[in-house]
Amino acid sequence: MTDKEKLKAHLRTIPDYPIKGIVFFDVTTLFKDAECLKILVDDLYEHYKDKGITKVVGVESRGYIAGAALALRLGAGFIMARKPGKLPAEKLSESYQKEYGKDSIEIHADAITNDDVVLIHDDLLATGGTVSATYRLVNRFHPKAIYMSFNIDLTDVPKIDIYPKDAETYSILSLTEHDA
């Protein structure tokens, strides 16, 4: 069994969650298996080890798991992109429309400098609403470069019009809802 087949075999899918018509890909089953977690972090590390990443931004909350482990492996700092009201110091905020509601994301105002090379990591790319807002937020810091990575890209879900097409994006697994 290949690494990607192992990840797919350990991925849990839940129909009609959080609302009817959505197939939820639950990555927590990948995190609880030590070998799967190692595969995720090793794969991301191999892809990004020569990019000069200085900060990894993990998107709340499942982006924190592999994002923090990857930051450690890369020798980079780790930044949490959080839901409103969770960060105690001065912060910047960006609002966005999700597949099933409106939300916003925040980062501490002193988290990133214009000398940083930033990797934004989240567990799953669906329409791209959350990561697009995170990208816009990180871009306000004017870093040298911004990359985006995901454990899973749902390729049959249309990306929103404002998805940052110019950003280099990498996903470990490319799946469709039919893979559920």
Give the pLDDT confidence of 16-51 residue by residue, as tens digits. 998 888 888 999 999 999 999 999 999 999 999 999
Q: Which residues pair with 173 in a beta bridge?
A: 152
Residue 163 is predicted with a pLDDT of 81
**pLDDT score recorded for residue 26:** 93
Report the predicted TM-score, pTM, of the whole model to 2 decimal places. 0.94
Cα dist from 37 to 40, 46, 74, 87, 154, whole Å:
5, 14, 16, 27, 20
Of 63-67, 77-81, 87-91, 126-130, where does mean pLDDT reach its minimum?
A: 126-130
The sign of the dihedral angle between the CA atoms of 79, 81, 85, 86 is: negative
Are 64 and 158 in contact by the 8 Å Cβ rule? The answer is no
pLDDT digits (tens, 9 = 90+) for 128-163: 889 999 999 999 999 999 999 999 999 988 888 878
Report the candidate in 102, 66, 58 with the shortest Cα–Cα distance to residue 82.
58
What's residue 180's pLDDT?
Answer: 65
Give me the pLDDT at residue 21, please: 84
**Average pLDDT score over residue span 71-89:** 97
Residue 158 has what pLDDT? 83
Please say whether the beta carbons of 24 and 179 come within 8 A.
no
Examine the pLDDT at 169 and tell me if it is beyond 70. Answer: yes
- What domains, with CATH codes, occur in the chain? 3-179 (3.40.50.2020)
Q: Which positions are catalytic?
A: 62, 99
The proportion of the chain whose per-residue pLDDT surpasses 70, expressed as a percent, equals 98
pLDDT of residue 99: 59
Q: What is the pLDDT of residues 98-107, one digit of tens each?
A: 656 789 999 9
